[in-house]
Amino acid sequence: MKRDLYQKLLLWKENPDRKPLVIKGARQVGKTWLVKEFGNQEFEGFVVLNADKDPRVREIFEHGFRVERMISDMEVISGQTIVPGKTLIFIDEVGDAPKALAALKYFCEDAPQFHVIVAGSLLGLAIHKGVSFPVGKVDELTLYPLSFAEFVRARLGEKSYQRLTSDPLEELSSLHSVFVEALREYYFIGGMPEAVQAAIDGKEYKVIRNIQKQILSDYALDISKHADPAILGRIHQVWNSIPQQLAKSNKKFVYADIQRGARAKDFELAIEWLKDAGIVYRVSRVRKAGLPLKVYEDFSAFKLFMVDHGLMGAQVDAPISEILLGKNVFEEYRGTFTEQYVYEQLICSAETGIFYYDSDRSKLELDFLMQGENVLAPIEVKAEENLRSKSLRQFCLDYPDARAYRLSMSEYRQQEWLTNLPLYAAIRLAPMIEGNGV
């Protein structure tokens, strides 16, 4: 299946100022597959070195960082000749070879003619354990689960993908029912490549749910294998609590909802572990709606989202029939799935920070708040076609220069102070706000 990140890999390949590339992302989002597809399609030679499975790979970087010697060792281990400009070197699971990360500095400074990519599912954990990261000496990309647009391409074809991502928004109305039905299916399947591939292959939905359950089990094993035993239990508590936290009308993460009397100091390391592993996203509140938003970030108040809404549905055993066939699927779960879904689409395409906003003084709450070029962009998420937006309207009265966006099951509608986007077009929102798309 095609991934949008492939185009960024092509740009990296042709960039004369490129640096070694680090690809981040949670386990099983498709990093290895994508790089192998890229290497096999775009290069004459392709050398794959797995630091997890082959101890010889780890040894390469234990004896200094002279590039000529490292390249020679790679050629011996792989049995291939590495030709500058024609061979892609891929070091997979680089978190298991910490010194390989340090070696990237020398490829950048002494041998920029080589194309080098590294990837690792638990790379964030490795970095925070004191591994030397070559800041300023690497390029970085993050791969997420398939966005809804990528899912549409996989299920409905390239033409549908192009319509969804490129057509004027008002012209999507003629395909409204098509995209709503695809979104219903995406709500269940999610964006994990193995689950999407199973759907493409015509597997039963129960088989897809079992795949999701297995991924969750693999994540739990990762936690047990790699986490500090001192915080292992708390990591599991946080991980298991996320769907319930999001199901509340106020989705702010509350420590006491995990354990009576719990405080931040009890669980902050557990949350950081999950975040570094890439399986949890943290969205901070801003205490004031001003530019730049980052200045007003409140680290003490936040929401946690899971890496994929399909996995969240499997974790809480959401009834398959209700998601796929239920008429009220988009109204259920207090909008939990909907807000989780929207955040996934935003993070895939946003270049600036994503926050949420609430005001203790005015009781005004906004699902998300972003910034464009000199403009605030409040965002409200509706799980159905209810177009009442009291908080959104009040925010725009308080901040007249803001440009508001509402995501709902209604079709595209442009108003003087508000843009209504259908939920299936959520992938278009971040570029609209940031001035890179329509």
Q: Is 246 found in the same domain as 130?
A: no
pLDDT at 343 over 90: yes
pLDDT for position 224: 94
Residue 117 contacts residue 8 (beta carbons within 8 Å): no
Same domain, 304 and 251: yes
For residue 358, pLDDT beyond 70: yes
pLDDT reported for residue 328: 59
Closest CA to 253 of 284, 223, 213: 284
Q: Long-range contacts made by residues 61-66, C-beta under 8 angstroms, separation at least 24?
A: 61/97, 61/99, 61/100, 61/102, 61/103, 62/99, 65/102, 65/103, 65/105, 65/106, 66/106
- Do 245 and 367 lie in one domain? The reply is yes
Q: What kind and span of H or E run contains 62? A: none
Q: What is the CATH number of the domain that holds 101?
A: 3.40.50.300
pLDDT at 16 (0 to 100)? 96
Cβ distance 198 to 208 under 8 Å?
Answer: yes
Q: How confident is the model at residue 389 (pLDDT cuts 50, 70, 90)?
A: confident
| Max mean pLDDT range (122-136, 196-210, 250-264, 403-417) | 196-210
Q: Tell me, yes or no, whether 291 and 424 share the same domain.
A: yes
Same domain, 358 and 215: yes
- 383 has a pLDDT exceeding 90: no
Both 191 and 116 in one domain: the answer is no
Q: Tell me, what's the pLDDT at 126? A: 67
Which of 142, 177, 209 lies at the terminal end of a domain, its last residue? 142
Q: How many CB atoms lie within 10 A of CB 104?
A: 22
Show the DSSP H helices in 204-360 as ranges: 205-226, 232-246, 264-276, 309-315, 320-325, 336-349
- Asked if 134 and 174 sit in the same domain, the reply is no
Mean pLDDT of the chain: 92
- Cα within 13 Å of Cα(132), Cβ side: 9
* Helices of type H across 157-192: 158-166, 176-189
DSSP-derived secondary structure letter, 142:
E
Give the tens place of pLDDT for each residue, 123-140: 776 665 656 789 899 999
Same domain, 138 and 167: no
d(CA 217, CA 71): 38
Contact yes or no for 336/246 (Cβ under 8 A): yes
Q: Is the pLDDT of residue 225 over 60?
A: yes
Digit-coded pLDDT (tens) for 51-106: 999 999 999 999 999 999 999 999 999 999 999 999 999 999 998 898 999 999 99
Indicate whether 135 and 156 sit together in one domain.
Answer: no
Q: Do residues 54 and 173 both lie within one domain?
A: no
* Percent of the chain's residues with pLDDT above 90: 81
Looking at residues 5-12, what average pLDDT do you find?
Answer: 98
Q: How many domains does the chain have?
A: 2
- The DSSP secondary-structure symbol of 417 reads S
Mean pLDDT calculated for residue range 161-169: 97
pLDDT for 325 equals: 61
Q: Which domain holds residue 28?
A: 5-142
Give me the count of residues in the chain. 438
Interaxial angle between packed helices 176-189 and 193-200, expressed in degrees from 0 to 180 and rounded to the nearest 10: 120
Final residue of a structural domain among 122, 142, 162? 142
Residue of 122, 27, 89, 101 lying closest to 58 (CA atoms): 101
| 248 and 387 both lie in a single domain | yes
Q: Are residues 352 and 394 in the same domain?
A: yes
- Among the three residues 142, 165, 198, which one is the final residue of a domain in this structure? 142
Is the model's pLDDT at 361 over the cut of 80? no
Position 131, amino acid: V
pLDDT of residue 6: 98
